[in-house]
A and B are shown apart, each in its own frame.
Chain A
């Protein structure tokens, strides 16, 4: 009986109602998630811009070294979008080897972005531009100009770390997502290794010492998902993962000018 039903389904293609959006449901689901996520980032960007315009003594901590760092981060993200779209193209044409290499290249660019961003955060925290919840860096005196920023302009560290931290979390989860698509179960031990390195290599006063646990939580979640539903990911899965990755890139296109370039320190000789 069940055989008859299966044969009927294949033979009578087109008897089902066509998709409203002319595409498959996984892709529509990801688009809906991205639309809702863009409102989260929209609210955070709004909060930062509002503070920037309405606060006359808004700090401008981003001198040329920070701008160079952020420009390099932008270049890495833009390049990762190119490698991602090439991975989707390889997947669509059934070239599994090229697909895997392009995905690994995308992950490498994403990881470089997170490392550079972590360096920027550590520098700002050491200079005294920090949140009350972050522990003080031992042996580092806060720069005189930033000593009172947390009290006088609390909007700056709150919105800066909130917005860029949320984005950094998205990039990290994106790298993990792509790792699972590219390597499947083989990625779990890699992820656990990365968690151990990140946890042991960062000092206990760094926010990344605790942030590294995101990798452990992701490894557990990924292991459960792969155990419950093991599968070979097809081109549709790669395309949907690509949508998420490009969204992360897209959001940075607003954060970079708004956060960094609007708070550039210009020193005229």
Chain B
């Protein structure tokens, strides 16, 4: 990449920061802290593990989404970058989780 293109890209990043001020980062930080507080509250509710796991993972995905979108600036990238990186990651992680239901099956195995 030549110097002019590099400069143009850096100016683009500066422009994003100029349009979206500091305040948004503080809002996201506050929202992440509030969601962490909600998770701790849920941790002390004597719930069934699978139900609690689903609720906690839902909140974690929301937090991860905020971090990727705002702190990692993915929200401001071009759509090709967003789709290629995020979809490949989701597909790989989902493929890994195909085996997760086996954890429940194993509970009913063995001598009874």
- Residues of A that sit less than 8 Å from B by CB: 9-10, 13-14, 16, 18-25, 31, 35, 38-39, 42-43, 46, 49-50, 52-54, 56, 67, 71, 74-75, 78-79, 81-82, 84-86, 88-89, 92-93, 234-236, 239, 242-243, 246-247, 249-250, 253-254, 256-258, 260-262, 264, 266, 268
Judged by a CB distance under 8 angstroms, whether B80 is at the interface is yes
By DSSP majority rule, is chain A's interface helix, strand, loop, or mixed? helix
Q: Is the CB of B72 within 8 A of A10?
A: no
Give the chain B neighbours of A53 by CB distance below 8 A. 49-50, 53, 103-104, 107
B80 touches A21 (CB 8 A): yes
Instruction: Using known A-B contacts A92-B10, A254-B64, determine if residue A18 contacts B5 with beta carbons closer than 8 Å.
Output: yes
Contact of A46 among B25, B68, B97 (CB under 8 A): B97
- The reply to whether A85 and B25 form a contact with Cβ atoms under 8 Å apart is yes
- Shortest C-beta distance, A185 to chain B (Å), equals 25
- The complex places the Cα of A260 from the Cα of B43 at a distance, in Å, of 9
Contact count A vs B, C-beta below 8 Å:
172
Contact of A79 among B17, B29, B46, B93 (CB under 8 A): B29
Interface of B, secondary structure class, is: helix
Cα(A89)–Cα(B89), bound, Å: 27
Contact count band on B: 35 or more
Does any Cβ of A come within 8 Å of B40's Cβ? yes
* Contact, CB under 8 Å: B5 / A261: no
Using CB atoms and an 8 Å cutoff, list the residues of chain B in contact with chain A.
1-6, 9-10, 13-14, 17, 22, 25-26, 29, 32-33, 36, 39-40, 42-44, 46, 49-50, 52-53, 56-57, 59-60, 63-64, 67-68, 70-73, 77-78, 80-81, 84-85, 88-89, 92-93, 96-97, 99-100, 102-104, 106-107
Q: Given A13-B2, A14-B4, A22-B81, are A42 and B64 also a contact pair (CB < 8 Å)? A: no
Give the most central of A53, A86, A260: most B CB within 10 Å: A53
Known: A93-B17, A253-B63. A39 touches B93 (CB 8 A): yes
CB distance from A12 to the nearest CB of B (A): 9
A266 and B46 contact, CB distance less than 8 A? yes
A256 pairs with B39, CB closer than 8 A: yes
